[in-house]
Amino acid sequence: MPIFHFHFQKTKNLKYLYAIRLVRELANQLMIFFLPIYFFNLRLPLVNRLNLSSLQEGIFNVGLFYLVTYLVCFFLAIPTSKILIKHGIRYGLLLGHLFYAVFVLLLYFSKDHPSLILSAAIINGFQINFFWNSFHYSLSRNSNEGKIGTNLGLINFFLNLLSMIAPALGGLIVVTLGYQTLFLLGLLVILGGVVFSLLLENVRVKDKISFQEFFTWLREPGFRRLAMSFSGRYFNDASISLWTLYMFILLGSTDGVGYFYSLSLFLALFISYGAGSFIDQNKGRKQFFLSGGFLSIFWLLRGFVVNIWTITILNAVDKITASFHWLFFDRSWLMRGKGREALSYFVYREMIYSLSAIVFWLAVALIFYFFIAAWKSLFIATALGVLLTLLIREKKEET
């Protein structure tokens, strides 16, 4: 009996979606993992005029990039969704990959022309809308309810495997060959995703999406609670990107960040596969609440790490706990996206993420400008954000 077995329940699309996700993660872990460090070390003319400390200037560089990205992402969510409705989901995935490729090319040239970072941020907003709305819609549509946790667990096993290898490799490339070589390698990986996107069946969507409907949904108590859980998830994800920068400042080297992050992931690798199957069979929320509580505590502890070994141990324990918590969370919101108006649901989710990102990065700017203990303040805010994810429900009618 094989150890790993994919459940391609409905169509061949599912295996191509998995391939697309793995290619995407490889590119992300090679490049996006190190982007906060890259932005931190740039000198953007707009930020350079503000007479900030070197730490504040670096943080503002990072925040400006993501703030522009998610402003674009929010305001273009509806127009890009109408393109998906008109041309089909495969078209969205293809455009997502192509915009991602342009984004990486702009990063490549930004070393000599830092102002291109703002253009890259705008393009990044386009690719997020096209890719993730198309991907999540397709994943929910092609997964059976009884196996979605198992499938997510298996795909997360391979995602963690890539997360274990790619940061160390990316750090080595940055130190020996530079960021531009890393971006070129990432570009080649992204083009592999184009091939798998072409193999997908093109699915046409019948849906009506509008800002008016988005704000109507937000007036529903159940959707507001769901929106708060998505906001908490974004706070966690964004803080992880800043945690990479925090490790860089503490360790003083890019390759060291990659090596020790990879080492900590090794200890959590096999949890991902078993957790998915467990969640399908045991849908109680006790373990979910427990894991969320521990993750919140781990964020509080991050403000007290002092050396590479405490970082490694904390990362490892955090990843083991996160493997269960985020699998339960992802299964819940993906299952809630099944049914009519599915694309609306995923588009509005991305809009909530964008609004959460705007709030988060404005808060980061204020924290690092006014607070002395800025890192600890950030980790406390993230710990509270993780607790918000406990509001997630698989069905609208759940209380």
In three state form, how does the secondary structure of the chain look? CCCCCCCCCCCCHHHHHHHHHHHHHHHHHHCHHHHHHHHHCCCCHHHHCCCCCHHHHHHHHHHHHHHHHHHHHHHCHHHHHHHHHHHCHHHHHHHHHHHHHHHHHHHHHCCCCCCHHHHHHHHHHHHHHHHHHHHHHHHHHHCCHHHHHHHHHHHHHHHHHHHHHHHHHHHHHHHHCCHHHHHHHHHHHHHHHHHHHHHCCCCCCCCCCCHHHHHHHHCCHHHHHHHHHHHHHHHHHHHHHHHHHHHHHHHCCHHHHHHHHHHHHHHHCCHHHHHHHHHHHCCCCHHHHHHHHHHHHHHHHHHHCCCHHHHHHHHHHHHHHHHHHHHHHHHHHHHHCCCCCHHHHHHHHHHHHHHHHHHHHHHHHHHHHHCCCHHHHHHHHHHHHHHHHHHCCCCCCCC
User: What length does the chain have?
Assistant: 399
| Euclidean distance between CA atoms 336 and 350, whole angstroms | 15
Cβ neighbour number for residue 390 with a 10 Å cutoff? 18
Q: What is the pLDDT of residues 73-124, one digit of tens each?
A: 999 999 999 999 999 899 999 999 999 999 999 999 998 888 899 999 999 9
Rounded-to-integer distance, Cα 56 and Cα 43, Å: 12
Residue 1, domain member (yes or no): no
Of 8-12, 97-101, 218-222, 371-375, which gets the smallest average pLDDT? 8-12
- What pLDDT does residue 262 have? 63
User: How does residue 13 score in pLDDT terms, banded at 50, 70 and 90?
Assistant: confident
Q: What is the pLDDT of residues 238-260, one digit of tens each?
A: 998 898 888 888 777 665 565 65
The Cα–Cα gap between 396 and 321 comes to 26
- For residues 93 and 203, give the distance between their C-alpha atoms in angstroms, rounded to a whole number: 11
Within a domain: 138: yes
Would you tell me how many other CB atoms lie within 10 Å of the CB of residue 372?
Answer: 6
Helix, strand and coil content of the chain, in percent to the nearest 5, comes to 80, 0, 20
pLDDT per residue over 154-177, tens digit each? 677 777 777 667 777 887 888 888
Q: Average of pLDDT values for 43-70?
A: 88
Provide the pLDDT for residue 257: 61
- Count CA atoms within 13 Å of residue 156 on its CB side: 28
- The amino acid at residue 108 is Y
Domain of residue 54 covers: 13-391
Whether residue 312 is contained in a domain is answered as yes
Q: How many domains does the chain have?
A: 1
Task: Answer whether residue 23 is part of any domain.
Answer: yes
Q: Does the pLDDT at position 187 exceed 70?
A: yes
Q: Is residue 346 part of a domain?
A: yes
Residue 311 lies in a domain: yes
Using pLDDT thresholds of 50, 70 and 90, give the confidence band for residue 11. Answer: low
Residue type, 56: Q
Instruction: Give the pLDDT mean for 54-61.
Output: 90
Confidence of residue 377 (pLDDT cuts 50, 70, 90): very high
Q: Which amino acid is at 43?
A: R
Residue 396 falls within a domain, yes or no?
A: no
Q: Would 399 be classed as within a structural domain? A: no
Q: Is the pTM of this model over 0.75?
A: yes
- Give residue 282's pLDDT: 56
pLDDT of residue 132: 94
**Which of the residue ranges 22-26, 48-52, 155-159, 313-317 would you say has the lowest mean pLDDT?**
155-159
Residue-level pLDDT at 109 = 93
User: Is the pLDDT score of 1 beyond 60?
Assistant: no
pLDDT-derived band of residue 330, with 50, 70 and 90 as boundaries? Answer: confident
Angle CA 251–257–261, to nearest 5: 125
Beta-carbon count within 10 A of 234 CB = 21
Task: Read off the amino acid at residue 15.
Answer: K
279, pLDDT greater than 70: no
Phi, psi dihedrals of residue 294, rounded to the nearest 5°: -65, -40
Angle between helix 148-176 and helix 271-281 axes, rounded to 10 deg = 160
Assess whether pLDDT exceeds 90 at residue 355. yes
CATH number at residue 235: 1.20.1250.20
In this predicted structure, what is the pLDDT of residue 314?
A: 79
Average pLDDT score, the chain: 83
- Give residue 232's pLDDT band: very low, low, confident or very high (50, 70, 90): very high
Statement: residue 273 has pLDDT above 90? no
**Which distant-in-sequence residues (6+ apart) come within 8 Å of 75 by Cβ?**
none
Amino acid at 86: K
